[in-house]
Chain A
């Protein structure tokens, strides 16, 4: 347990250091960025001291870490709000998208992987392998555009970009920030339907990639178990194949599957950055990309740090799940 905590602390220190260095890489002088180009020497020195930029680099780093740990990411030039407040507002939208994405991916990918492994070499296996290969060869933003083209423009089955229709803007009181849950809490089912119709295309485009990865991993986990001797024993005893897979093989893949799921979820939070741009989804990804084009470095670094933290914590979670679920690792 101690080693896990130590590892976590080290990884965090690394994340902080990288974020700090990226912030210092900017070719624009931060004092000039904050105060304008026509400062005289005295004004420059005062502003520089105010921003803490006259201190030695290691002191600046310590200040940076102290502020981040207090949840202070600085002001955003673009919105005028504290970055932490902005992120608290937009992050739930990203979480909602990524969560539905992983649900779709898991519900399709895991069963598909199991069937492919059990029927190894058959037609279903070939189909699953082809679809998974396509899934992780396809750029997620192109997938999103093609889904919009077919299901929104041509067929009209789903809603277009954005998180809700204009008629529903600001109607649902914000409780969790997850629109589906908030609408359900408010008992507003027409708002729920609207939100779902907007969510389904971006979630599917994320979910396909996740499902492809999960199917590939599940297939190889199950194949590995099917080669074990306990499966042969069960077959010799005359147990039917379905029973073997459900009762013996799957529980033995459980640990690896949980670990894979946690890591995939991290990838989805990250992949949401591109998907959000395509679907004009008001989440962290869109917030960060907008900040990038306006040299709003505080917002970019804040977002990077939040996604990095989520990533590190998910890694930790999968590690803990592994220790907890697998008696051999205890």
Chain B
């Protein structure tokens, strides 16, 4: 263990791999030095754990209705109580982690490449292409995100897939700006000139040389954004425009509980706590990643 540590922290690395691993280890040390960042990592780790092992963690079938057991308060049998159809809330919250994680993943997979491609193309080609693409991005940035997503979903018919598409369509502009800024720095570096001299076309240069270098800062930004994405997705679910019943989605569960707030507070409270904690986790993790990866702060 100590040998590994001193190998990682060696001020004179013998190989490129050692230098890279050492750099990564230092970043990791910076990251775990902050208890908040670590808490974020733990929360997101728990979320992934719940999503993966939901069938084993759930104590009941999340869709099984039992009208004899409806609106039961939290007890040893139903840890978080039951909802208006007698379904076990703990089990539904566990399965809901899958839906939430799925939304977050799909939005990241859809929105980040759009932003990356637009930003890198604009930054690398410059000139008119840059001006047109960035004007387009600025216009998209000036729109209200939630309301546009609402209108999109309303027009397309409410469903989980449409909610994801709507959120992704409103999420890409900040990524495009970020990728463009990074590309502008990289564009004039010597190694890009070398690749160009070797005969690579602009398409190849952007995809193979520039995009990979923009990824780290993009990942940080996406992580920070995921807290907001979760809130918007839950909001759509709450309005009935996201996941449709009987899917165990936290926003929709919360919305059901609204009608029973007076006699059964737990129906709305429990999924709300799940949304809150998950969003908090992404915020903490994003802040931690940003601080750890910020070159101005590292030693």
Contact = CB atoms under 8 A, between A and B. Distances in A.
A214 to B, nearest CB: 16
Nearest to B236: A274
Contact of A289 (B227, B239, B251, B261): B239
Nearest to A153: B262
A206 to B, nearest CB: 13
Contacts of A138: 276, 279
Contacts of B269: 146, 149
A315 B138 CA distance: 11
Interface in A1-57: 7, 10-11, 14-15, 18-19, 22-23, 25-27
A139 B272 contact: yes
Given A25-B155, A27-B156, A297-B155, A304 B239 contact: no
B147 A307 contact: yes
Interface residues on chain B, size class: 35 or more
B283 A137 contact: yes
B152 A292 contact: no
Interface string A287-325: 011001100010011011001100110010000000000
B240 interface: yes
B206 interface: no
A266 B144 contact: yes
Contacts of A19: 151
Nearest to B283: A137
B234 interface: yes
B39 to A, nearest CB: 11
A104 B135 CA distance: 35
Contact of A148 (B157, B251, B261): B261
Nearest to A129: B36
Interface string A223-264: 000000000000000000000000000000000000000000
Contacts of A273: 146-147, 150
A270 B272 contact: no
A215 B276 CA distance: 19
Contacts of A274: 146, 235, 238-239
A270 B170 CA distance: 14
Interface string B143-164: 1111110111011110000000
Contact of A25 (B140, B146, B152, B275): B152
A95 to B, nearest CB: 15
Interface string A122-134: 0000000000011
A292 B146 contact: no
A311 B146 CA distance: 12
Interface in A123-172: 133-134, 136-142, 145-146, 148-149, 153
A60 interface: no
A300 B145 contact: no
B136 to A, nearest CB: 8
A137 B155 contact: no
Interface string A261-287: 000001001110110011000000000
Decide if the interface of chain A is mainly helix, strand, loop or mixed.
Answer: helix
A136 B234 CA distance: 14
A277 B259 CA distance: 12
A326 to B, nearest CB: 20
Nearest to A142: B272
B139 interface: yes
A277 B258 CA distance: 11
Interface in B29-77: none
Given A289-B239, A292-B241, A270 B144 contact: yes
Contact of B261 (A145, A297, A304, A312): A145
A125 to B, nearest CB: 13
A141 B272 CA distance: 9
A305 to B, nearest CB: 9
B154 A292 contact: yes
Given A137-B227, A149-B265, A277-B239, A270 B283 contact: no
Interface in B271-299: 272, 275-276, 279-280, 283-284
Given A18-B148, A141-B235, A142-B275, 9 more contacts: A14-B142, A15-B139, A139-B231, A139-B275, A139-B276, A140-B231, A146-B272, A274-B239, A292-B239
Interface of A: 7, 10-11, 14-15, 18-19, 22-23, 25-27, 133-134, 136-142, 145-146, 148-149, 153, 266, 269-271, 273-274, 277-278, 288-289, 292-293, 297, 300-301, 303-304, 307-308, 311-312, 315
10 contacts: A10-B135, A14-B140, A22-B155, A139-B254, A146-B272, A270-B144, A273-B150, A289-B150, A289-B239, A311-B143
Interface of B: 135-136, 138-140, 142-148, 150-152, 154-157, 227, 231, 234-235, 238-241, 251, 254, 258, 261-262, 265, 268-269, 272, 275-276, 279-280, 283-284
The 4 closest A-B pairs by CB, nearest first: A142-B272, A14-B139, A137-B280, A292-B154
